[in-house]
Amino acid sequence: MDNLRQQFIAFSVEAEVLKFGQFITKAGRQSPYFFNAGLFHDGATLGKLADFYAQTLLDSGLEFDMLFGPAYKGITLASATAVALAAKGRNTSFAYNRKEAKDHGEGGTIVGAKLAGRVVIIDDVISAGTSVRESVAMIRAAGAEPAAVLIALDRMERGGKDGVLSPLSAVQEVSQNYGIPVISIASLADLFGYLEADPSLARHKDAVAAYRQQYGVA
């Protein structure tokens, strides 16, 4: 399996971060699969995850100067990705935000490097786009430029409620609203391709296909 995107899906399934069954999403939908990046919670899996983030970013050809991780999951993801990038010969600074401003010591809401230049926001997924909106505001307020959002999995799923679904996915809306690319390690299309290639998971293919038909975007 030489495709990085397929390798990531296989890794996520093996780590039981990507599961199949019946799950209720944040949007209240019954989904046949669920991705929880919080389950990459040991050194080995976090290190491998960071390597996927780093390689995906380098392969994208995007020009960037530093990383930013929105609290809370983004903190670990950005810092681990910076370590992985350094191991690949690209030493990159990173920063993250506090949920509440610190009123002593160095103070403020930003920890780490000063926000400057072209900044890549790193998170696990994009649901409503709230953390991206807040991150973009902080980056621009510091005089820096949001260059892209880098996520683990693009669900390629339309927003809104049944009957009034948006024509765009949350990822597409973020890209359109802020004029920046959203880069994903893998997507729902890659997940579906993996299901088609793995006989042991074939029983989940029809449910994922039906969900994709109902909520998915091209």
- Choose the catalytic residue: 41, 48, 88, 104: 104
Does 119 carry a binding-site annotation?
no
Does 19 carry a binding-site annotation?
no
- How many Cβ atoms sit within 10 Å of the Cβ of residue 213? 8
Does 41 carry a binding-site annotation?
no
Does 155 carry a binding-site annotation?
yes
- Choose the catalytic residue: 41, 48, 88, 102: 102
Extract the tokens encoding 17.
Answer: 């971060």
Dihedrals φ, ψ of 2, to 5°?
A: -95, 0
Does 43 carry a binding-site annotation?
no
Alpha helices in the chain (DSSP H): 4-14, 43-60, 73-87, 130-141, 170-178, 188-197, 205-215
Spatial CA neighbour of 124 closest among 149, 87, 97: 149
Does 24 carry a binding-site annotation?
no
Does 98 carry a binding-site annotation?
yes
Does 90 carry a binding-site annotation?
no
Q: State the distance between the two ends of the chain, measured CA to CA, in whole angstroms.
A: 25
Does 104 carry a binding-site annotation?
yes
> Is there a catalytic annotation at residue 204?
no
Query: Residue 111: CB partners within 8 Å, gap ≥ 6?
Result: 95, 96, 97, 98
> Is there a catalytic annotation at residue 41?
no
Which one-letter amino acid corresponds to residue 185?
Answer: I
- Which residues participate in catalysis according to the annotation? 102, 104
Residues annotated as binding site for orotate?
A: 34-35, 127, 155
Residues annotated as binding site?
A: 26, 34-35, 72-73, 98-99, 102, 104, 123-131, 155
Residues annotated as binding site for 5-phospho-alpha-D-ribose 1-diphosphate?
A: 26, 72-73, 98-99, 102, 104, 123-131
